[in-house]
Amino acid sequence: MIGVLPGAGIGALLVEQAMRMLTYLLEDDLKDGEIEIRLIDGLTLEDRLAHN
């Protein structure tokens, strides 16, 4: 399993492209269920500051 933190601002744009690349490179493993990619929301700096 690969956990991806989407972030905010430009981070979201970078993660979108990284996800495209990972999906392409790991296509066979994803189809076979060997690897799973999951987005982990809520770990942006803004969210963490709001909870402290």
Return the pLDDT at 35: 95
Its pTM surpasses 0.75: no
pLDDT one-digit tens code per residue, 3-16: 888 877 788 888 88
Per residue in 1-52, pLDDT (tens digit) is 998 888 777 888 888 899 999 999 999 999 999 999 998 887 777 777 888 7
User: Is 29 within a domain?
Assistant: yes
Q: Is residue 32 included in any domain, yes or no?
A: yes
Q: Are 7 and 48 in contact (CB under 8 A)?
A: no
Beta-ladder partners of 38: 3
pLDDT for position 32:
96
Structural domain of 25: 2-38
- Determine the 3-state secondary structure of 34 from DSSP: coil
At position 42, the amino acid (one-letter code) is G
Using an 8 Å Cβ cutoff, are 38 and 1 in contact? yes
d(CA 37, CA 18): 11
Within-domain flag for 49: no
Q: Which two tokens stand for residue 52?
A: 């402290």
Instruction: Please give the tally of structural domains in the chain.
Output: 1
